[in-house]
Amino acid sequence: MQKYYTDLDDFEDDSRSRLLEVTERWLMPAVIFVAGVIIILAVCVSLEAL
């Protein structure tokens, strides 16, 4: 009986994980936005103290 060779034997799932996609798409921009708001508020507070 003939053995059929396929590429599925050595197939590895190297697609990106869902968590990584969510992190890149939503979490990182949110963190950058919040950090920017905090920096702006800190600058305003320090200018107000002058």
Q: pLDDT tens-digit profile of 5-37?
A: 666 666 676 777 888 888 888 999 999 999 999
Give 12's contacts (C-beta < 8 A, 6+ positions apart): none
pTM: 0.59
Distances (CA, A) of 45 to 25, 35, 42: 31, 15, 5
Q: Is the dihedral of CA 28, 30, 32, 38 positive or negative?
A: negative
Place 3 in a pLDDT band, splitting at 50, 70 and 90.
Answer: low
Q: Alpha-carbon distance 11 to 29, whole Å?
A: 34
Specify the higher pLDDT residue, 19 or 1.
19
Q: What is the mean pLDDT of residues 31-49?
A: 95
User: How many Cα atoms occupy the beta-carbon half-sphere of 5 within 13 Å?
Assistant: 1
